[in-house]
Amino acid sequence: MAQQREAAEPFIFRNASPAKIRNFRRLAHKRGYSVQKGGRFWHFAGGHDKGLALSALIGFYRVAWGARIRTIALGDSGNDLLMLQLVDLAILMPKPDGTYDREVTTKMPTIARAKQPGPAGWCHALLQALRAGASVRLNRNTPTRTHGS
Residue pLDDT, tens place only, 5-42: 456 778 888 888 989 988 887 888 788 777 777 777 77
Contact predicate 42/8, CB 8 Å? no
pLDDT at position 84 is 95
pLDDT at position 127: 93
CA distance 105 to 100: 7
Residue spans per domain, the chain: 9-45, 50-147
Average pLDDT of the residues in 112-117: 95
Instruction: Examine the pLDDT at 140 and tell me if it is beyond 70.
Output: no
**Span 48-82, pLDDT tens digits:** 667 778 888 898 888 888 888 889 999 998 889 98
Compute, in degrees rounded to 10, the torsion defined by CA atoms 113, 118, 121, 123: 120
Q: Is the pTM of this model over 0.75?
A: no
Count of other CB atoms within 10 angstroms of residue 80 = 24
Gap between the Cα atoms of 75 and 92, Å rounded: 5
CB 50 within 8 A of CB 38: no
